[in-house]
């Protein structure tokens, strides 16, 4: 009886440890601090949007820490579909910021491309130990692997008419409400998207 109780206690403890490890698998703290500090509501040319303080991001130590954290992630850390989806949305958005900052100051993210290679096809940063272009993540991972239409309201293209960057990371435990909210915000904004 004592032996059985000991095994049950060990099994329960192992479940708690595994659960805590999975919850801490990807460190979003630097990315969270970065976007919470540098993303604010605003208006440009009559367009309601979240404004990104690129100059502030460029000098914020959390920018480098966030890039390092995303580069260091291993696929094994992303155990559930929601963890993987949230991670790749955040990775895309961080690399979109990086694409702007790699050429900052700039009028358009598209200026980072060339005649032979658009910015969307250019490898802009490392995620999970591999160099990625924004197109690699959007079309090669998000659209291909997840079949989640709401991603188009969550990933940002660093343009006025595109969906807004959230001032918080997407997380597995809140992913559905966050994606619903991103879609609602974009569709309810008459100054965004295809305006007649």
What is the structure's pLDDT at 194? 65
Where does the pLDDT of residue 21 fall: very low under 50, low under 70, confident under 90, or very high at 90 and above? very low
Better-scored residue on pLDDT, 47 or 12: 47
- The pTM of the full predicted model, rounded to 2 decimals, is 0.85
What is the structure's pLDDT at 163? 96
Better-scored residue on pLDDT, 4 or 144: 144
Residues 180, 196: Cα–Cα separation, whole Å: 24
Better-scored residue on pLDDT, 126 or 113: 126
Where does the pLDDT of residue 23 fall: very low under 50, low under 70, confident under 90, or very high at 90 and above? very low
Exposure letters 153-177 (e unless 16+ CB within 10 A, then b)? bbbbbbeeebbbbbeebbbbeebee
Q: Over the chain, what is the mean pLDDT?
A: 89
What is the structure's pLDDT at 116? 82
Beta bridge partners of residue 188, listed in sequence order: none
Confirm if 142 and 155 have CB atoms less than 8 A apart. yes
pLDDT in tens, 123-181: 999 999 999 999 999 999 999 999 999 999 999 999 998 999 999 999 999 999 999 99
Q: Which of 9-13, 28-32, 109-113 has the highest mean pLDDT?
A: 28-32
Where does the pLDDT of residue 5 fall: very low under 50, low under 70, confident under 90, or very high at 90 and above? low
Where does the pLDDT of residue 112 fall: very low under 50, low under 70, confident under 90, or very high at 90 and above? confident
Q: What are phi and psi of 119, to 5 degrees?
A: -60, -30
Where does the pLDDT of residue 2 fall: very low under 50, low under 70, confident under 90, or very high at 90 and above? low
Cis, bond preceding 151 (omega within 30 deg of 0): no
Half-sphere exposure of 19 (CA within 13 A, CB side): 7
């Amino acid at each position: 009886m004592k032996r059985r109780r000991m095994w049950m206690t060990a099994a329960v403890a192992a479940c708690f440890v595994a659960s805590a490890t999975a919850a801490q698998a990807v460190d979003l703290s630097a990315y969270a601090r970065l976007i919470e500090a540098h993303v604010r509501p605003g208006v440009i040319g009559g367009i309601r949007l979240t404004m990104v303080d690129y100059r502030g991001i460029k000098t914020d130590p959390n920018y480098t820490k966030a890039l390092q954290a995303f580069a260091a992630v291993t696929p094994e850390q992303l155990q559930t579909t929601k963890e993987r989806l949230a991670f790749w949305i955040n990775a895309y958005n961080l690399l979109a910021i990086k694409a702007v900052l790699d050429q900052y100051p700039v009028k358009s993210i598209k200026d980072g491309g060339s005649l032979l290679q658009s910015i969307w096809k250019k490898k802009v940063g490392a995620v999970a130990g591999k160099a990625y272009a924004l197109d690699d993540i959007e079309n090669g991972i998000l659209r291909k692997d997840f079949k989640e239409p709401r991603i188009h309201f969550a990933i940002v293209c660093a343009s006025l008419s595109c969906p807004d960057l959230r001032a918080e990371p997407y997380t597995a435990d809140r992913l559905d409400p966050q994606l619903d909210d991103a879609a609602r915000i974009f569709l309810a904004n008459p100054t965004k998207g295809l305006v007649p």
